[in-house]
Amino acid sequence: MPQRLRKAVFPVGGLGTRFLPATKAMPKEMLPIVDKPLIQYAVEEALEAGIDQMIFVTGRGKHAIEDHFDIAFELEATMSGRGKSLTVLDGTLLTPGSIAYCRQQEPMGLGHAVWCARDIVGDEPFAVLLADDFMVGKPGCLKQMVEAYEQVGGNLICAQEVAESRTDQYGIITPGARRGALTEVKGLVEKPKPSDAPSNLAIVGRYILQPGVMRVLESQEKGAGGEIQLTDAMARMIGEQPFHGVTFDGVRHDCGDKAGFIQANIAVALSRDDVGPAVKAFIETL
């Protein structure tokens, strides 16, 4: 049986330049989908999947994330004094033993951000969740991946078919045998030109990795974009351990993109009883 998955890494140290000026003083992970920040959706997804410890790899100016998952005494006391329910804050308090923070001092890429968590991860398998990949499904994306991990072990990445013209925006899988939602991974290429892409099966922001990837990242050279790419490090592990892609049964919104972020807000708003009717009525007037 594979070793139980207990830890998840959230790389949240990026600068969020695509959403300036909104992200000048606010982490992009705190941008809300209706009334809940992206990072809270990701944490709730990890909790559903059985994760015990959340590891946030932060940077300068990210204190709002730490505050969000802490007690807000003044707010809670004021709300209670006015007779307002505190249930709206459910999911915003993580107990001290279930959360850890470390710093990525330079924006050197996703691989570097994951490597910054090496001492907290230790010698255990771990998940990686990118909050701006907003995944909507039941069960959640990571839970679907954990169920697959319990069958095959090794390393798993979330996979999604993308338009062939967009392969240069993603890590792309060289596929092997397919069995239901599982695809054997024969190789990985970071952001290939459409003419060079081995498939249109892209890696999206969920991973389950064995601790050996940290030793690979230790010596990983810079790749696409002049950054240390997690995809390049994973590619070096193929053939040494089982490696599979899991096609997510649900909907992904790319909230690292302005249009994708707006679409996610509209989709979630329309699905809710409290704001859905008003939003639908407004859209029909456009």
Most confident of 38-42, 64-68, 111-115: 38-42
**Residues with Cβ within 8 Å of residue 136, at least 6 apart in sequence:** 250, 251, 252, 253, 267, 268
pLDDT at 124 over 90: yes
| Cα dihedral value 272, 205, 109, 217, nearest 10 | 150
Residue 236: per-residue pLDDT = 86
State the average pLDDT over residues 277-284: 97
Residue 228: per-residue pLDDT = 78
pLDDT tens digits for range 181-193: 999 999 888 888 9
pLDDT tens digits for range 222-278: 666 667 788 888 888 888 888 999 999 999 999 999 999 999 999 999 999 999 999
The pTM of this model reads 0.93
Residues 161 and 189: their CA atoms lie apart, in Å, by 15
pLDDT at 221 over 70: no
CA-based radius of gyration for the chain: 19
Percent of the chain with pLDDT over 70: 98
* Sign, Cα dihedral of 29, 124, 221, 133: negative
Q: Mean pLDDT over all residues of the chain?
A: 91
Residue 283: per-residue pLDDT = 96
Higher pLDDT, 223 or 173: 173
Residue 61: per-residue pLDDT = 83
Residue 143: per-residue pLDDT = 97
CB 127 within 8 Å of CB 213: no
Beta-strand pair 243-247/182-190: antiparallel
Closest to 206 (Cα-Cα) out of 248, 152, 175: 248
pLDDT tens digits for range 68-119: 999 899 999 999 999 999 988 888 888 877 999 999 888 778 999 999 999 9
- Strand, helix or coil for residue 103: strand
